[in-house]
Amino acid sequence: MSQSLHPMLNIAVKAARAAGAIINRAALDIERLQVHTKNPRDFVTEVDHASERAIIDILLEAYPDHSILAEESGRTRGARDGNYQWIIDPLDGTTNFIHGLPTYAVSIALLHRGQIQQAVVYDPARNDLFYASKGRGAFLNDRRLRVSKRTRLAEALIGTGFPFRKGDNFQRYLKMLEQVMQHCAGLRRPGAAALDLCYVAAGWYDGFFETGLQPWDIAAGALLVTEAGGLIGNFTGEADYLHQREVVAGNPKIYGQLVQMLAPFSRVITPEPSAPDAAHAHAGDDGERS
């Protein structure tokens, strides 16, 4: 596998596996974990920090002039204004992890001039490696991924995530939930957005939506979705979703129906005129910006 990967993706895979090894070791003795609360219901452990350090060390050893945006340390070492930026979530699904629920992942994406070029999401509990390079397809281990072919929302399985931070609009979310639940075959909420997007890419979900997400939650998964033939955008179908704190993804047919349903709940009052309409976009031409 590693022979044919883009060199930068190879480094990202190496970093993700190193982080995964740290997480797996810690998972054997969760009782001893030091858990700190960033905000109510928002936790961080020394595993998050150790995992992040391992990733950053490997990336910057290979590419010292690249900049880094990481969940636990914010913008960190490396170039201040380089064309390349790594976006890292060292442990997506920390709450699951500290309860021993094996649904969490390492997420690493590389942006070049605002476009997501490389992506790795590693599920250490299952030893599943999701990865993609722009224009070269999405893969799980050695298997090519394609989004599902379902066309009717009534038959679709949809993933989501509950808002949990102070300031999140619970009433707005409950209204969305009511809408989607009444029109789809089922709704799932495992608790790690990076994996949720991979499940869309793999065709296990037909669609996904969530509010309140940060760039490091979605950057890698977003490329996996588009490289598997899916679409991703904000609730109004614009391709500028990375910093909008709302995201919807799916196979093209289900994506279109979800956008129609979720558009009234969008926080984006006036979409940027420069953003292409993702509802009519081809799978590969989403216009993320860093």
Task: Residue 36: give its domain's CATH number.
Answer: 3.30.540.10
What average pLDDT does the segment 280-284 reach? 37
On whether residue 173 sits in a domain, the answer given is yes
Full residue range of the structural domain in which residue 76 is found: 7-144
The closest of 255, 154, 139, 282 to 198, measured between CA atoms, is 139
- pLDDT band with cut points at 50, 70 and 90 for residue 284: very low
Same domain, 11 and 70: yes
How far, CA to CA in Å, does 28 sit from each of 21, 22, 36, 97, 98? 11, 10, 19, 11, 11
Give the CA-trace dihedral at 202, 207, 210, 213, to 10 degrees: 30
Same domain, 228 and 129: no
pTM of the model: 0.88
- Who contacts 261 (Cβ-Cβ below 8 Å, separation ≥6)? 179, 180, 183
Same domain, 192 and 220: yes
| Cα angle 148, 149, 150; round to 5 | 100
Q: How many CA atoms within 13 Å lie on the side-chain side of 247?
A: 35
Same domain, 18 and 130: yes
Same domain, 91 and 208: no
Q: Indicate whether 283 pLDDT > 60.
A: no
Residue 255 phi/psi, 5-degree rounding, is -55, -50
Q: Which of 28-37, 39-48, 98-107, 271-280 comes out lowest in average pLDDT?
A: 271-280
pLDDT above 70 coverage of the chain, percent: 85
β-pairing, 128-133 with 186-188?
unpaired
Q: Could you tell me the CATH number of the domain that includes residue 256? A: 3.40.190.80
On whether residue 2 sits in a domain, the answer given is no
- pLDDT for 82 equals 75
Number of neighbouring beta carbons within 10 Å of residue 277? 13
Same domain, 16 and 113: yes
- pLDDT for 103 equals 98
> 75 with 56: CB under 8 angstroms?
no
Q: Is 183 left (phi over 0), alpha (psi -120 to 50) or beta?
A: alpha
- How high does pLDDT run on average in the chain? 88
- pLDDT for 29 equals 87
pLDDT above 90 coverage of the chain, percent: 73
Q: Indicate whether 287 pLDDT > 60.
A: no
What average pLDDT does the segment 61-76 reach? 87
Q: pLDDT tens for residues 116-162?
A: 999 999 999 999 999 999 999 999 999 999 999 999 999 999 999 99
Q: pLDDT tens for residues 80-92?
A: 557 999 999 999 9
Q: Indicate whether 72 pLDDT > 90.
A: no
Q: How many folded domains does the chain comprise?
A: 2
On whether residue 168 sits in a domain, the answer given is yes
In angstroms, the CA 220 to CA 212 distance is: 17
> Token pair for residue 113?
């001039």
Same domain, 139 and 220: no
Domain closes at, from 120, 144, 168: 144
Q: pLDDT tens for residues 15-62?
A: 999 999 999 999 998 888 778 776 665 667 789 999 999 999 999 999
- pLDDT for 179 equals 95
